[in-house]
Every structure is written in structure tokens, then in C-alpha cells.
Chain A
């Protein structure tokens, strides 16, 4: 089991290698790469009036990964975080259970956060800004010239998380709640009944929209608990995402509630000098 978990974490660690700093091996503290792989299952509700004026409800899945690392700013009080998540939902008309709409998206976020220790032992507050990129589509199986509603947005916003390290008996446990709240950005959405055929002819007017809380509201809530066994942790939790746009006569909303399970841990670079170096972890403290 442990071998599989380690393999998973190593694979997940391959993606952000470009972000690793080229540190002189003996001078700086060791900053392990915190890595998590998550699997989610739950339910989704969605509506996109471009496709149909009714709401749909069904099951949804997600697979995600997360990376965090301490940064050499302010005595390593800053961390960067990357999240990558693929979401899929299969839904039917809420009112009758008929019809069929699938939704899928790829979500990437890069955040930089500073943390402060709060007066409660083990409790820290991280706060900072993030950039998110989401791309996806809804597909309604009714056919016709408007079966697809494409979703793409780039946004900048705020993110914060509260992390509480404590022990359950002898077992170190880390509870975390993170909120991500895009504030400004851009997103695409055709007008009320504008066809993608017309867009393909070159009519991009009113296709690209400024994203503010007047036109869209996205949010991600994640509450996770990591039960830490030696070098890895079992993660369980709850994830909630909400994507919303209100513009051009159309309303789109996708809300998902997921049970989260995954594995997490700090990945260290193994070298002879590691044991003598100070370690600055991004998340775990105990």
C-alpha cells in the first residue's frame, strides 16, 4: 500500500518541477514539496439557459492534485500552491429525470499565500491571491445547432485557508479549510441565442466578457482532514465548487458537492546532507 501511495505522490510531483527553485544544496533550508492526489464523488446541479431554461441534477466525479511549497520570502512565511482538477457531471432534468446534460471542466489554480500563526496552538491562517484558469463545456443531448455551451475563464482573486494541526492520540492530524474567491477576470459566453456558427464566422462582439461579481461568481470551498501516517497522509474531506455567470441574457450555474478522499505527503529530495538542514514545510507543522 505504502509503495503505491509513494508512487502516486511521485507521479503527481512530476508536474510542477518547473517551479522548483535551483537552490544551492547546502545553504538554504529544505523545502519539501507538499503533494496530494484526490478523488471526489458526489452530486451536481447545473443550469445553463443558453441550452435549456431548466435545471439539471445528477452525479459528478473529480480527480485532482495539489502541490504546495514554502518560498524563500520573509523567512519562508510564504507558500505557493498549485491545484489541478478535472470535473465531470452527468445530469438529468431535475423536474422529471428525463433529458441528459453532461458537463466537464479542467480547472487550474496558482496561488501565493502568506501565513500567520494565530494565538491558538497549531492554528495558522494563510491568505493571499490566486490566478485560476477554467476550461470546459456542457453538452445537452437534445442535438440541434446548440448542443454545446463552451466555458472558459481566466480570473484573479483571493484565497485563504485556516490550518489546524493537532494530535489524535499519537496520530498527527491536520484539518484545513480553504476558500478561493475569484474577483476579476475574463470569460467567454455567447449572447442570449447567438450560435457558435455565427461566432465561427467572426462575430466575436459580446463574446468575451469582463468577469466581476456583477457578471459572475465562482467559489471553491474545501474542508479536508489529513491523518498522517509516517511519510504520507490519508485525506478525507468535503469539496464544494460553484461556477456562475450572469450575462448576455443567459444564466449559468454549476454547483457540486463532493466527498473527497486522497493521499498527501511531503516529498523530500533525498541527499546526504538532508538531515542537517532546516526543513520549512508548506502545510504540516507537527
Chain B
């Protein structure tokens, strides 16, 4: 009798545990149609996008405008375009909707501004088509004994060894130009590797925070982060001019933000394109991906740079397009002038 009771108890225990092991299916009511995917997209942005307050975007109103336009029988392209139009309301170059046939972009952050960079003008008239290239860097000593480094993407890997070679090669110059015009961003780790070569001591690089919940104002306390000069590697301490345009975006924007706080650095050119939110990516039920700004990165004063960073006061300058036809990059010319004359 006792044995039967034991077996019965064991059986009940097993049954209870196996029932408890069932998968908790939160999305069982979700539908993979246009309405379902629109609602999913809107909700993901609503719960994870980090600049609603800063940009004063009323996301509920946006839904009110766009939701009635969604039809389950609309084509994929039409639905994609509608979602892209809705996302444009966020005015954010880090917000993209990706499908197997297209990726949506918000272009206005640089389309409405001068290009302010012409690679051909620089390569032909300043570098004489004769320069060194490594790790995504283009570098050369200019005629005025000024070092010039162009870095077009922070996605290009940076090695300490390459940086040592470049900076030692340019060490005898009177100053250095770092050109990040057209640099659309990449890895923040590369920002640290590059920017720390111009620091002689531990430097406050900025603050980072993240969403702690679905509410628009649910943020962690800003966390201060620092860059240290790399031990055993060459540190460049002479004056540095950083050249920017509106296409200087995301990680490149972050690089400019850090460099601008250094005393020997002057930022010359146009306001950067911003993009200070670290983006996260999420799937939609139909397999499309939504990338959005998720974690704001603030500068060393605690300011948001989502809408860009101004050049150093007195150094805001656009490229003269007529002079460019004659082979002059007036932003680069201004940087050379500052490094040669100090003014």
C-alpha cells in the first residue's frame, strides 16, 4: 500500500513538472499580415527608441496617422514604403527598415546640406595621387610639412601597429589633419583606439545610458566612460585639425565629440550629421529587421549630440564649389592655414 502511494506521488510530481515545462507563448495572438507587422513595428519602436523626448516626437499621433492606411491586401512594396514613411517621422539616420528587397533610410540629415568633400580634389591637388594606405587610412606629409590622414569609415579595422607607423611617419610634421568627412561611422571600439592616440592622460570621453523599460523616459543613470592613452604606443601631442561635414555620422560623430574636448584639437568644416544613439536591431514577425537608436551617448558635458556637433567657434566653413573646380578644398586650406599660422 505504502509503495503504491509512493509511485502515485512520484507520478503526480512528474506530471506537474512536465506541465510546468510548457513554453510560455506570448505572441500566439500575433498575425503575420500587414496589420500585425505594422503593430509589431510600431510597438518595437515605441518600447525601444530612445529619442522621443529629445526630439519631441508624439509617437501615438504618428500611429493615428499611419495605422488607418494599412490594409492586409496591400503589396509588400507599398507596405514597406508606408512603414518607411512612418519611420521618417523620427528624423534619425540610424533608423532603418530592412527587408529582402529594400532598406529604408532617412536621408535628410545630410541631403539638405552641402557635400563639403570631394575626394578627387584632395587626391589630385593635395596628395598628388601619391600616398600611403593601410587599415582604411590614407596618409601623407603635405607640402606645408603638415601631416594628413583620411579615415573614411570606422568599420575599417584599426591596429595599434598601423597607427604607430602612421603617427611616427608624421611625427616630424608641424601639425596633423584628420579628415573624417564622409565617414558614416562604424565601430565605437575603433573610435577609442584612434582617439586615445591623442591623449596624454585618462580622459572623460562621455556618458552612455540605456533604456531600462518600455516607457519613453525609462533610462539608466548616465555612465561616465574614459579613454586611456595606450601604454607602449606613440602618442601624438602636436596641434590637430579634425575636418567634418554633414556625412560625419554615428561613430565618426562620436570621434569628433571626443576629439573636440582635447585642448590641442580644432574642429573645422561643417556641423556633423549626428547619430549619437547606439542602434539595436529587432526582427519583425515577417522577418524584416528594424534598426533604431537605443542607447544615447552623451558628450563629456552631458549634452546630446544626436543632431550633430558644431565646429570649433570661428571654424565653421563650407567648401567653395567654384574654388573646388580650380582644385582647392577650402576646408582643407583653412586647416593648413590654422596649423601653419596658429590662426
Residues of A within 8 A of B (CB): 45, 47, 51-55, 93-96, 98-99, 118-120, 123, 125, 140, 142-147, 162, 177, 179, 181, 191-195, 197-198, 201-203, 205-206, 217, 219, 221, 223, 240, 242, 248-249, 251, 253, 255
Is B217 in the interface zone, CB < 8 Å from A?
Answer: no
Considering the chains assembled together, what is the distance between the CA atoms of A33 and B96 in angstroms? 58
- Whether A193 lies near B48 (C-beta < 8 A) is yes
Q: Select B283's contact among A140, A221, A249, beta carbons within 8 Å.
A: A140
Residue of A nearest to B221 (CB): A205
B14 within 8 Å of A (CB atoms)? yes
Assess whether A194 is in contact with B295, with CB atoms less than 8 Å apart.
yes
- In contact, B21 and A221 (Cβ under 8 angstroms): yes
A253 touches B6 (CB 8 A): no
Q: CA–CA, A221 to B13, complex, Å? A: 11
Chain A residue at minimum C-beta to C-beta distance from B281: A144
Q: Across the interface, which residues of A come within 8 angstroms of B24, CB to CB?
A: 47, 253
Docked-complex contact B17 and A179, CB < 8 angstroms = yes
Kindly identify which residue among B7, B17, B278 contacts A145, using a CB–CB cutoff of 8 Å: B278
Chain A proximity mask over B45-65: 1 for CB below 8 Å, otherwise 0 = 000101000000000000000
**Chain B contact patch, size range:** 35 or more
Q: B220 an interface residue at 8 Å Cβ cutoff?
A: yes
Count of CB-CB pairs between chains A and B under 8 Å: 153
Residues of chain B contacted by A54 (CB below 8 angstroms): 27, 30, 40, 283, 285
Answer whether A120 and B294 are a contact pair too, CB < 8 Å, given A53-B44, A146-B281, A192-B211. no
Q: Note all chain B residues with C-beta closer than 8 A to A195.
A: 210, 278, 280, 294-295
Residues of B within 8 A of A120 (CB): 3-4, 6-7
Q: In whole Å, how far is A225's beta carbon from the nearest beta carbon of chain B?
A: 14
Residue of A nearest to B289 (CB): A142
Q: A240-B21, A253-B23 are in contact. Are A194 and B220 (CB under 8 A)?
A: yes
A96 touches B286 (CB 8 A): yes
Complex CA distance for A255 and B278, rounded to whole angstroms = 31
Contact between chains at B295 and A55 (CB < 8 Å):
no
What CA separation (Å) do A45 and B21 show in the bound complex?
11
Residues from chain A with Cβ under 8 Å of B208 in the complex? 197-198, 201, 203
User: Any chain A CB within 8 A of the CB of B279?
Assistant: yes
A177 touching B211 in the complex, CB below 8 Å, given contacts A47-B26, A55-B23 = no
A249 with B281: CB separation less than 8 A: no
Q: Which 4 A-B pairs have the closest CB atoms?
A: A98-B287, A144-B281, A120-B3, A119-B3
Complex A-B: 28 CB contacts under 8 Å? A47-B26, A55-B25, A55-B26, A55-B27, A93-B285, A95-B32, A98-B287, A118-B2, A142-B281, A144-B279, A144-B280, A144-B281, A177-B10, A179-B13, A191-B210, A192-B211, A197-B188, A198-B208, A201-B208, A201-B223, A205-B223, A206-B220, A219-B20, A221-B14, A223-B14, A249-B213, A249-B214, A253-B23
Which residues does chain A contribute within 8 Å of B22, judged by CB atoms?
255
When chains A and B are docked, how far (Å) is the Cα of A146 from the Cα of B10? 43
> What string of 1s and 0s marks CB contacts (under 8 Å) between B145-156 and chain A?
000000000000
Task: List CB contacts (< 8 Å) of B50-102 with chain A.
Answer: 50
B283 touches A95 (CB 8 A): no
Contacts of B285 in A (CB 8 A): 54, 93, 95-96
Contact partner of A95 among B3, B30, B48, B295, CB < 8 A? B30
Please name all residues of chain A whose beta carbon is closer than 8 Å to the beta carbon of B210 when the two chains form the complex. Answer: 191-195, 198
Whether A52 lies near B295 (C-beta < 8 A) is no
**B316 at interface (Cβ–Cβ under 8 A)?**
no
